[in-house]
Amino acid sequence: MTHTDALAGAIATPLIDHHCHGVSPADLDFKRFQALFSESYRPPAPGTTEFQKPLGLAIRRFCAPVLDLEPSCPAEAYVERRLALGAAEVNRRFLRGSGLDSLLVDTGLRSSEILDVPGMAESAGRPAREVVRIEAVAEEVAQSCGSGAAFPRAFADRLAERAQGAVGLKTIVAYRCTFKIDQTAPSEAEVVEAADRWFAAASFAGKWRLEDPTIVRHGLWLGGELCRQRKFPMQVHVGFGDPDVYMHACDPTHFTDFIAAMEKWEVAITLLHNYPFQREAAWLSEVFQNVYYDVGVILNYAAPMSRDILGEALEMGKFSKFLYSSDAFGLSELYYLGALLFRRGLQQVLDRWLEEDFCSLKDAEELIRLVAYENARRIYPLNT
């Protein structure tokens, strides 16, 4: 028996997807379908399609058979079959085929276009819990609270209310302000002044996108306090996973001061995505007691090369701090592929460790249990 065969049972264990989003309930034509597996706001270059990259290959190779098509069928045939089956059936097949234990769903991104948390639970046939995005709540409150003076109280109340049934909070400070910012808490007077400035500019422009670093910093500390009280993690977006980033300033090691402050409060920080900073994230998990990390989203985008990235993430990474996420958004294919590529990659990495006699089969099986669900269960309040 090869090592691969020996690990097959353990690797099939259900995964907790600790960072994911809703999928689209709409029947998607070619243009809309390919837009949902691009990390850019721009359409593909003239004369090209999104299928001409590793993720496109993986969709045609691994997702086509789930829709009763030949592996690697033409892209047009894939989209046609998807339309013929209807979005509800397609989503059901991919979500139920992902082998998930449960889903922790970030509801702060384009929530009107995708299934909500109960909708995701129903489609997946598995429990789904909510993670609340701090900046999205600030934007929602800003539009109704009237004056800067009323903002701190209204924001605190709404965030606490939204966190009631949630299992964690999430911040996107990285792509609103980068990590290279002052990481101390602003004073209430500074928050009020910044809120007045924000409201005036936003009402004039008709856009409520939060980019003011003072308000974002305030949200971090308000969120941190809530995480401390509720004893649940703060998820922190890092690196790849959104087009509007200054990537060089999204290295999570710039965020050390805030991470250290949260460590004192015993708040777990879960670093999401991390690519191309998976090594920096692993290092932070080694140094700080409260840091956890994943390599969600990039496994889908790297597809055949995803094993190498997973290998880098595990070079020095603590198995007790590494988590699984798909970061799927919009397409249920991204749930399915995320789980498939994670299992394949992890199996290939562990196979090598077994081959080279760095661990026993029992060690490998324990590592799989930790990253598949035990680490997530330890830090998220999933039984409440």
Binding residues vs Zn ion (CB under 5 A): 327
Q: Which is nearer to Zn ion, 62 or 175 (CB)?
A: 175
Structure tokens at 220: 């971090």
Q: Which is nearer to Zn ion, 78 or 255 (CB)?
A: 255
CA distances from 261 to 78, 132, 224, 266 (A): 49, 21, 9, 9
Q: Which is nearer to Zn ion, 100 or 191 (CB)?
A: 100
Q: Tell me what percent of the chain is helix, strand and coil, each rounded to the nearest 5.
A: 55, 10, 35
CB of 109 to Zn ion, least distance (A): 7
d(CA 120, CA 123): 5
Structure tokens at 369: 């249990």
CB of 336 to Zn ion, least distance (A): 17
Structure tokens at 43: 């359409």
Q: Which is nearer to Zn ion, 135 or 327 (CB)?
A: 327
CB of 106 to Zn ion, least distance (A): 5
Q: Which is nearer to Zn ion, 78 or 175 (CB)?
A: 175
d(CA 268, CA 291): 6
Q: Which is nearer to Zn ion, 34 or 300 (CB)?
A: 300
d(CA 126, CA 145): 37
d(CA 268, CA 231): 8
Instruction: Beginning with the edge strand found earlier in the chain, give each strand of the sheet holding 128-133 in spatial order.
Output: 15-20, 100-106, 128-133, 168-171, 234-238, 269-273, 291-293
Question: Which residue has the closest beta carbon to Zn ion?
Answer: 327
CB of 1 to Zn ion, least distance (A): 39
Helix (H/G/I), strand (E/B), else coil: 115: coil
Helix (H/G/I), strand (E/B), else coil: 325: coil
CB of 19 to Zn ion, least distance (A): 6
Contact 273, 298 (CB under 8 A): yes
CB of 157 to Zn ion, least distance (A): 26
CA distances from 377 to 18, 102, 167, 232, 239 (A): 10, 11, 11, 11, 25
CB of 129 to Zn ion, least distance (A): 15
Q: Which is nearer to Zn ion, 91 or 214 (CB)?
A: 91
Q: Which is nearer to Zn ion, 328 or 354 (CB)?
A: 328
CB of 96 to Zn ion, least distance (A): 21
CA distances from 203 to 91, 153, 177, 338, 347 (A): 38, 20, 21, 40, 52
Q: Which is nearer to Zn ion, 145 or 334 (CB)?
A: 334
d(CA 165, CA 183): 28
CB of 85 to Zn ion, least distance (A): 26
